[in-house]
Chain A
Amino acid sequence: MEKWQDNRAWLLILPVFVIVAFSAVVPLITVVNYSVQDIFGPGQRLFVGTEWFREVLGDPRLHAALWRQFGFSALVLVLEIPLGVLIALAMPKKGWGVSLSLVLLALPLLIPWNVIGTIWIIFTRPDIGLMGAALNAMGLAFDHTARPLDAWITLMLMEVWHWTPLVALLAYAGLRAIPEPYYQAAKIDGASAWAVFRYIQLPKMRGVLTIAVLLRFMDSFLIYAEPFVLTGGGPGDSTTFLSIYLVKIAVGQFDLGPAAAFSLIYFLIVLLFSWLFYQALQNVGTGANR
């Protein structure tokens, strides 16, 4: 085929450039801009270099929030991925049960995030909440507004309830895509249920599980609305995650410079870990790095 050279072709991709510029590049550059200046008001600004970065990196409250954040994301992955896969394995493969279980699973995903927080506040209230009151009636003191451990338990329950269905749906789609002869061959080879899972189902779910891990890591690492509504970051700072702390600095104290510097670091951490997860999941078990 003959190759055509025509610079007017640039016009065709111009809309994409404009959209990406206004939706991603300009805001990002603005953040970079804020992160190296001290802004007192319109027209009053001072270049400060790396001062905000040094301030933010030395902030002990931020360190605490970062570790809390890693702990939260790790718990989310450790709980939701295996649980989601188990649910997917247990789901019916045909008949009316399929539609029913899909609808039931999808329900939590359809609820707005701040409403989820509200639902769980009511559910766990020690005086009237179904769970909170029941636990207290059994003699187990439970109050997520006063006790950090209770706040974490509530938060994890809410998070698992809310997002495990996503993992389950992805895993289920991956399982359904395995052609029948794989199971037939395994039967003929005399494979146990565990061997079928380990050598057929798990490797065949690699793609969907990679997506599940990445989505759950990014979402949990950036989590804001649910814990903000449920605990507001408390009691004390015990559930103050990075984005909650970030909003406190940016909106609460109006420290745009440190907030911008912090945002950039935050962004890089998410990017770095997503890349690490992606590489690890693509290569595990393929012998590519041997």
Chain B
Amino acid sequence: MARITLREVAHSYQVYPGGETDFALKRIHQVWEDGGAYALLGPSGCGKTTLLNVISGLLSPSRGRVFYDERDVTVQSPEQRNIAQVFQFPVLYDTMTVYGNLAFPLKNRGLDGAVIRRRVEEVAEILDLTPQLQSKAAGLSADAKQKISLGRGLVRSDVAAILFDEPLTVIDPHLKWQLRRKLKEVHEQLKLTLIYVTHDQVEALTFADQVMVMYQGELVQVGTPQELFENPRHRFVGYFIGSPGMNFLPCRVQGDAAQVDGVGIPLDPEIAGRAAAARGALELGIRPMFLEVHQAPAEGRIAVRVKTVEDQGSFKIVTVKLAGYSLKARLPEGRPVPEAEAYVRFPLDRTRIFCDGRLLS
């Protein structure tokens, strides 16, 4: 077990990278605490897997250093780093039994037969694989295979961290939930450092204590699910997390209000002051959950046209038109649904201003 530190790490798949765009990882400077459950969240192609492979040692980064505790492991192999990794598709040794698969990493390290047997049986117990220990691994279902891949990591009692690269992609939806719970259990029981790569926000938010959102080779925000939801530090986080994502309106700031195509939206004076001083393209952002929709006009409410209403079961999504822009609002069940005309209010404490995609705070 170890605390993992990446110092000024950048990676390019090209031998002679030119500009910023040649880098799959731009500048990662981050610490993963020992025993934490982390999720790396981001869209396909954002560099999640590259980052994971740099941590595991399958890739050596073009720049920067990797530390496990105080040990510099930048040029060490995954085996030397003593890491375990579970891949998107289950990787099995087809000709071996489940037992053989689980024992394989220990046999390769030349451990004593009795020790191997004890460890394998312990891990099989944790993962509910005991009944299948003597069957051939090739014939099992996808979720059992994925548990075996995980088990090959767990058998090594001194493993530094377990890395998951979208491990639930090939699992049936109802089993996904079970397997995710199993992972959480394993984490609580063994207190291992887990790093979990996914592009599914539900998976990330339910699994991890800390979620790291990646976008175009950068970690744009690291925080608890709540922090990411309430205070997205980057436009991308607002858009990517939450369903539907944050509303964004290009705006100018005059006095204590944001001007969106001639419509004034009141702002917190402090934020307005900072926005007035900022250089760059400004955008106003608000979560659909926090945008209030009313049927009657009042002070601070802005008249909008209702375009569509989607019923999502326990809530409704109302799409309204403000100036030239569409806004989504989330209406709890039971609230009256406005028809053609509505009035929206932007609560001061929930309205955010982004400058060139980054939060002003």
In Å, the complex CA distance between A77 and B167 comes to: 41
* Chain B residues, Cβ within 8 Å of A253: none
**Interface pair B93/A200, CB less than 8 Å apart:** yes
Instruction: For A190, give the chain B residue with the smallest CB separation.
Output: B108
Min CB gap A190→B, angstroms: 4
**Interface pair A188/B83, CB less than 8 Å apart:** yes
* Chain B residues, Cβ within 8 Å of A185: 85, 87, 91, 149, 152
With A184-B58, A285-B95, A287-B136 in contact, do A189 and B108 touch (Cβ < 8 Å)?
yes
In Å, the complex CA distance between A184 and B109 comes to: 17
Instruction: For B104, give the chain A residue with the smallest CB separation.
Output: A189
For chain A, what secondary structure do more than half of its interface residues adopt (helix, strand, loop), or is it mixed? Answer: helix
Can you list, as one digit per residue, whether each of B198-225 has a CB less than 8 Å from chain A (1) or not (0)? 0000000000000000000000000000
* Chain A residues, Cβ within 8 Å of B153: 188
B293 within 8 A of A: no
Instruction: For B91, give the chain A residue with the smallest CB separation.
Output: A185
Q: Which chain A residues in 186-207 approach chain B with CB under 8 Å? A: 187-192, 195, 199-200, 203-204
**Interface pair A184/B79, CB less than 8 Å apart:** no
B88 within 8 A of A: yes
**Interface pair B87/A181, CB less than 8 Å apart:** yes
**Interface pair A199/B56, CB less than 8 Å apart:** no
In Å, the complex CA distance between A182 and B79 comes to: 15
CB < 8 Å neighbour of B138 from A179, A182, A191, A286: A286
Can you list, as one digit per residue, whether each of B217-242 has a CB less than 8 Å from chain A (1) or not (0)? 00000000000000000000000000
B290 within 8 A of A: no
* Chain B residues, Cβ within 8 Å of A188: 56, 58, 78-79, 83-85, 105, 153
Min CB gap B132→A, angstroms: 13
* Chain A residues, Cβ within 8 Å of B186: none
**Interface pair A190/B89, CB less than 8 Å apart:** no
**Interface pair A187/B78, CB less than 8 Å apart:** yes
CB < 8 Å neighbour of B87 from A184, A203, A285: A184
In Å, the complex CA distance between A200 and B58 comes to: 18
**Interface pair A190/B109, CB less than 8 Å apart:** yes
B77 within 8 A of A: yes
In Å, the complex CA distance between A181 and B85 comes to: 10
**Interface pair B89/A179, CB less than 8 Å apart:** yes
A-B CB contact pairs (8 Å), 12 listed: A184-B78, A184-B85, A185-B87, A185-B149, A185-B152, A188-B58, A189-B108, A195-B104, A195-B108, A203-B93, A203-B94, A203-B95
Apart from A188-B153, A191-B108, what are 11 other A-B pairs with CB-CB below 8 Å? A181-B89, A184-B91, A185-B152, A187-B58, A188-B85, A189-B79, A192-B108, A199-B95, A199-B96, A203-B95, A286-B136
